[in-house]
Amino acid sequence: MARVTHRLRGAARNGGPGFGALAAALHDNRRLWCLFAADVAQSANLLPADLRARIFYLAEFTQQHSRKVLAGEGGVDPLLEINTAVMRGLRGGEA
């Protein structure tokens, strides 16, 4: 997740000339969140149901917002904030 977030942040800084890198970073971020969604959708997942639902919602949001970014209708900041908050939570820090 850290590598994907780093790539996404770097590609966003490059603006228009770096659109290919941005599209690739968004694709990788969407794939990552798709994996998270698939994992929490499994009945064998041991996370609490409420947490599983929140992770699934974040995965849906990530998919939708990524489409907006690609269409030029949104920025990457919300995606970066989500990834950063999740990484903080995984490290045991405040989100």
Cα(30)–Cα(14) distance, integer angstroms: 20
Number of domains in the chain: 1
pLDDT value of residue 17? 72
pLDDT digits (tens, 9 = 90+) for 41-55: 999 999 999 999 999
pLDDT value of residue 92? 84
- Which structural domain range is residue 73 located in? 2-91
Q: Which residues, given as ranges, of the chain have pLDDT below 70?
A: 16, 93-95
